[in-house]
Amino acid sequence: MQCFEYEVDRELNIQSCTGSSGENLPVLIKQGLGKPYYNVLPRIVDDDNRDIVMDAMILNKNVVLKDYRFLCLFDCVCSEVAITPISLNGKDVVGASVNIKIKSSCGYGQSSEFIQGFVDIGKAASMLSHGVRNPLNAIKGAVVYLKNRYDSEKDLIEFADIMEEEISRLDLFITKFLSSSCVDLNPQKININDILEKIQRYVSLQARSSNVSIDFKYGEIDPLMLSPFHYEQAVLNVINNAMAAMPQGGNILVESRPEVRKEKKYVVVDVTDDGPGMSASAIRNLDGQQPPRTRTGGKGFGLFITREALKAHGGLLEIMSEAGKGTKVCLWIPVEQPEG
């Protein structure tokens, strides 16, 4: 059983931490010294979302929680939590001691291979963000030159405009990613069909060069509040995976449609290919139940990013496939977005 204890002041800032030697969690908490404890650990709250540590200090009362469940990345952790106010002369409370005994740990946390998949994602994202900016600037300069040099070529100018816009948005995205711990979605009210029409133009040449026939069908759907950039990348990731799975060519259908599930309205985009399909274990990998891997042997970062983009909008990713019979990937976004 892992045990550790930390002390906070009246503002809930961590003042000290002790724990079993060699364990990573106390080391992580010590790195947060001087900061609110809930910056490095889940906040300890009651059913009314009140901070129990703060209440214990206000009431100057010991609190013992026998089976407190902390939410972790994929599951929950059952713990015994003891909170003891620290006072001067038994009156003036200056802080609190929080003792935590972890009774059960998250099953996924026991898999070093599973965690390593997400470590790889973090490393790759950081390296990509830093390394892509100079090539982006060079590409943007080349695009501007081509637009000026061949300004009478209608098709070229259309694709060049798309490339220039995407490069600018990607550069802005990287800037925000490197300057913040979380990405602001900047949602806008938009019809997903407008995004799909842009994607259709964007991937047409790529599909042609890969001997892939790609068709788009546009259903009558409601406009949504979403981040156009993040959603566009989510769909592109799925389409690119489908093309990569068919190196000898094939067919892809991208279709938007309305859907109602459990009395809740959604807009769904289906990406269906007639490629080699996937086994049940491969689908579990892409669904995040195992370390992410693609059907072509890659790390699966694209599908991971797609799933996270959908989750950020209250949506979900579904994958239906059978070996030898193609794959259908469904991107669900609710019409009514969750608040916050």
DSSP string, 178-246: HH-SS-----EEE-HHHHHHHHHHHHHHHHHHTTEEEEEE------EEE-HHHHHHHHHHHHHHHHHT-
Element at 49 (helix H, strand E):
none
Render pLDDT for 254-290 as a digit per residue (tens, 0 to 9).
999 999 988 899 999 999 999 988 777 666 665 544 4
Stretch 9-28: mean pLDDT: 73
From CA 100, how far away is CA 283, in angstroms rounded? 37
Render pLDDT for 67-119 as a digit per residue (tens, 0 to 9).
888 765 445 678 899 999 999 877 789 999 999 888 766 554 444 455 555 55
Give me the pLDDT at residue 292, please: 46
Q: Is the pLDDT of residue 340 over 50?
A: no
Give me the pLDDT at residue 88, please: 83
Name the 3-class secondary structure at 139.
helix
Element at 247 (helix H, strand E):
none
The one-letter code for the residue type at 281 is S
Comparison of pLDDT for 204 and 270, the residue scoring more: 270
Render pLDDT for 173-196 as a digit per residue (tens, 0 to 9).
776 665 544 445 678 899 999 999
**Whether pTM exceeds 0.75:** no
From CA 6, how far away is CA 46, in angstroms rounded? 20
Q: Is the pLDDT of residue 150 over 60?
A: yes
**Residue 223 pLDDT grade (very low, low, confident, very high; cuts 50, 70, 90):** very high
Q: Is the pLDDT of residue 213 over 50?
A: yes
Please enumerate in sequence order all residues whose Cβ is within 8 A of that of 248, keeping only pairs 6 or more positions apart, or say none. 211
From CA 97, how far away is CA 110, in angstroms rounded? 28
Stretch 23-33: mean pLDDT: 65
Give me the pLDDT at residue 21, please: 43
Contact 10, 94 (CB under 8 A): yes
Give me the pLDDT at residue 262, please: 85
